[in-house]
Structure 1
């Protein structure tokens, strides 16, 4: 038996194929052990000696972090120790609005998706940008993205200070401006350029209306603890109603600027709006924002359609050149008005009244929310929609009274009439009268005579005639 074993071993040891195979096996085993050891070592190092922060695109801090990374790349290119960044770039288009209001674009090249290294506060930070090609966020068409930051160390204060710096940098760019968000799918996205903050005194409402609403909202914002201690849901709802063009939307914009809040504008009539989507959007609205539901009456299915006023002439005022001039400037089109009026619920498909009510004050409704709703036809709203708890204040924003007309005239010509008691402003107000014109109509008329208050006063009678004959749209 021993001789057979010795013969077997001798035969194998002298077989070149076996020796080669054994060598390859040993080499593979060694490489496998080294690779596994490296993986274990890398895992131990990452768990015990590195700090990682992942920011997903659906997180509110994601645009702040991305903007901060972009700013670092723009301001100090030496901070980027990128691998292959010279060949793989993304373009960051920065649209800038000058003090004069002109808009121009700046193009900056930054590292694209992939792995890069950033030097910040004496630390090397690994930056990995990942963009999924197919994964979608809810009903949005935007691909999922994430940014992962990794550095050596265990002190979380580095990332805390980084996030705070990113937040401060982003908010500083919005100083003096009101950000506007629109709903895209199940998320809120910035819409266009931020609007310059509108002063409250630029919106001329009836005496005391603006002051009362601003005081109420200020009291709400300053008394969160009061609501919490008494178990009252911390949210506030306002309904502004009245004829079109009287300043409802303008006032909401001015309020947002006054309290440094952003605007989240939500259209309930858009195709695809459902009860679940509305609930999700109201719950996940950006912090420190006002949610605006304009023309809330279109959210109530089954209401009678708005009918066209039969007194509107089919010639659109062309028989009177002066009246036609007013109609042209104020952009009045009876046909377009009729289409919009007779089908105010176009696009409404999946949103029900009960779904809207639950989103406003149901079990899942969010707290800390400020909601403004507007309507031109309050009589078309269901009584359940405007009950206390859903709507805390109902305010009528009506056509201008004489005092408002005089204030509007004085604002347009401050060098000609420093006070509303100026005879020219009072004369203009007496001609227009009470509840005859909206603020938008008067503003449109005065814009025709920006530097000529005398001409504005001279043509006021013709303007009033156009209003009374319904040739100028309300």
Structure 2
């Protein structure tokens, strides 16, 4: 009664008063706890709900575990593997491709031999005998045109695009050759390529070894040969196969000319510090002039062989050659190379006009661009430039001034000394008994035919044969003198024609004497007649 009265009066019930019963008879809790507990009890009692929660938890755990494994594997791979990339723009790219091809060919040859070997006793010896064979190959075709007009074709099988596995000194290497058709390698004019070599991190020491081995293989292939480079876009590209080095003794020039140029070049190569100490640009320019066929190009090739240098051919009349490209090419010459500019007099005098059918205007390089490339502010150092011309009188004084042309040398007509020296090369003591019999090529004189028969029978007196050939040499020089070959009257004997005569009449000096008049140019021969 008192409690009811207190409630009506707005007073709180006593602390020990029992809570009012809910309509359904269940005791009430503050904030509706009874309903919440009932809802949660219903959810936990529902098997579909508990199964879904479990499935979500299992899926999350699986994804977390997979991600953890992937992360751990990536980290482990980064820690255990090492990768080397070689782009196609790098010089070692071709070296490694050819080395890999040679390495695999050697493995194939060893496997074909089937030599009996003792059974391996250790795991390392077993691994060293596993030689994976290539499955993807690419062909590299090289066509070489000879002076005779014939062609020689060589095919090389190189690793193709894709993955390859090789065994190098007991270490397995995975080599992947990738090609991006959307990018172009400007040096080659081909799609961009890259080689990726992967191995264990603990075996990373093999990278310098195989690169060094690839370089040594390339050097062996080029040993004793001269590489000829030509301009390809803004880079230098080898032209054909390396050529056999030509000895200086094979080129016969007037007395002192060869020795003077060779001595100057070697002195220049030894004087780098001298140039730097005095602030002089370390470069040297040479001008070789003279009639065509007198041996200018042959001498340059022999000079490159003597110095163990390459030759970079640059045609100033090439279509599309600009001042910037010319300067860039002369700046990026390959190491140990000679820049050769042939026929510089024709570079600016024979340009065609835009009225031609093909609209070609000739090379875009200007005379001032050539001067700046040779001796300008942006011109490179540590280089040798040799220019040749058949008409030195046509060259501008600005082109041949000191600093651009430091040494001039005339490679002129054959002198008496040149003729005699070339005679000894073809008909001297060393040629007796080793030359190709002239009877197989042309008709020979009776005396020479009899000498050949005696030589075959072993009855020929070498000393008598030498004296006979000396007499022929004296007669040959006398005939050329009578014809006016050494008077310097605007014509003379070119060494190319003289060599051609001696090659045609192998082993027949008498016939060469009889045909001496053939060395006279046609125009001069008509005047004499």
Q: What TM-score bracket applies, with the shorter chain setting the length?
A: 0.7 to 0.9
Alignment of 1:53-452 (within 5 A): 53-77=84-108, 85-86=134-135, 88-91=136-139, 109-138=157-186, 140-153=188-201, 158-300=206-348, 303=349, 348-414=362-428, 415=432, 422-430=473-481, 431=483, 433-434=485-486, 435=488, 436-452=492-508
Please give the secondary structure, in 2, of the residue aligned with 1:227. Answer: helix
Aligned partners of 2:134 and 2:159 also within 8 Å: yes
Q: CA deviation at 1:398?
A: 1.5
Query: What corresponds to 1:39 in structure 2?
Result: 74
Instruction: Extract unaligned runs of 5+ from structure 2.
Output: 1-35, 112-127, 353-359, 433-464
CA distance, structure 1, for counterparts of residue 471 and residue 412 of structure 2: 20
Please give the secondary structure, in 1, of the residue aligned with 2:409. Answer: strand
Aligned partners of 1:241 and 1:374 also within 8 Å: yes
Deviations 1:385-441 (Å, cap 9, x if unpaired)?
A: 222222211112122223323333333322476779941342244245224122223
Please give the secondary structure, in 1, of the residue aligned with 2:139. Answer: strand
Please give the secondary structure, in 1, of the residue aligned with 2:273. Answer: helix
CA distance, structure 1, for counterparts of residue 320 and residue 188 of structure 2: 11
CA distance, structure 2, for counterparts of residue 390 and residue 139 of structure 1: 29
Query: What corresponds to 2:457 in structure 1?
Result: none
Aligned partners of 1:74 and 1:108 also within 8 Å: no
CA distance, structure 1, for counterparts of residue 412 and residue 216 of structure 2: 40
User: TM-score, structure 2 length as denominator?
Assistant: 0.70
Change (3 A) 1:112 1:236: same
User: TM-score, structure 1 length as denominator?
Assistant: 0.78
Query: What corresponds to 2:515 in structure 1?
Result: 459
Change (3 A) 1:222 1:425: farther
Please give the secondary structure, in 1, of the residue aligned with 2:368. Answer: helix
Aligned partners of 2:179 and 2:192 also within 8 Å: yes
Change (3 A) 1:173 1:465: closer
Q: Number of residue pairs matched?
A: 421
Change (3 A) 1:202 1:72: same
Change (3 A) 1:462 1:192: closer
Query: What corresponds to 1:320 in structure 2?
Result: none
The structure with the larger Rg is 2
Change (3 A) 1:428 1:218: farther
CA distance, structure 2, for counterparts of residue 106 and residue 243 of structure 1: 37
Aligned partners of 1:290 and 1:372 also within 8 Å: yes
CA distance, structure 1, for counterparts of residue 286 and residue 224 of structure 2: 25
Q: CA deviation at 1:213?
A: 0.3
Change (3 A) 1:9 1:32: farther
Moved more, 359-368 or 5-14: 5-14
CA distance, structure 2, for counterparts of residue 364 and residue 107 of structure 1: 42
Aligned partners of 1:402 and 1:432 also within 8 Å: no
Aligned partners of 2:89 and 2:187 also within 8 Å: no
Alignment of 1:6-17 (within 5 A): 6-11=41-46, 13-14=48-49
Change (3 A) 1:14 1:462: closer
Aligned partners of 1:410 and 1:420 also within 8 Å: no
CA distance, structure 2, for counterparts of residue 161 and residue 41 of structure 1: 25
Change (3 A) 1:123 1:304: closer
CA distance, structure 2, for counterparts of residue 211 and residue 358 of structure 1: 30
**4+ aligned runs moved over 6 Å, structure 1:** 78-84, 94-97, 102-106, 416-421
CA distance, structure 1, for counterparts of residue 330 and residue 398 of structure 2: 19
Q: CA deviation at 1:464?
A: 2.4
Q: CA deviation at 1:305?
A: 7.6
Query: What corresponds to 2:4 in structure 1?
Result: none
Moved more, 219-228 or 200-209: 219-228
Moved more, 458-467 or 248-257: 458-467
Please give the secondary structure, in 2, of the residue aligned with 1:76. Answer: helix
CA distance, structure 2, for counterparts of residue 396 and residue 80 of structure 1: 63
Q: CA deviation at 1:2?
A: 3.7
CA distance, structure 1, for counterparts of residue 155 and residue 485 of structure 2: 53
- Larger relative contact order (Cα-Cα within 8 Å, sequence gap ≥ 6): 1
Q: CA deviation at 1:153?
A: 3.7
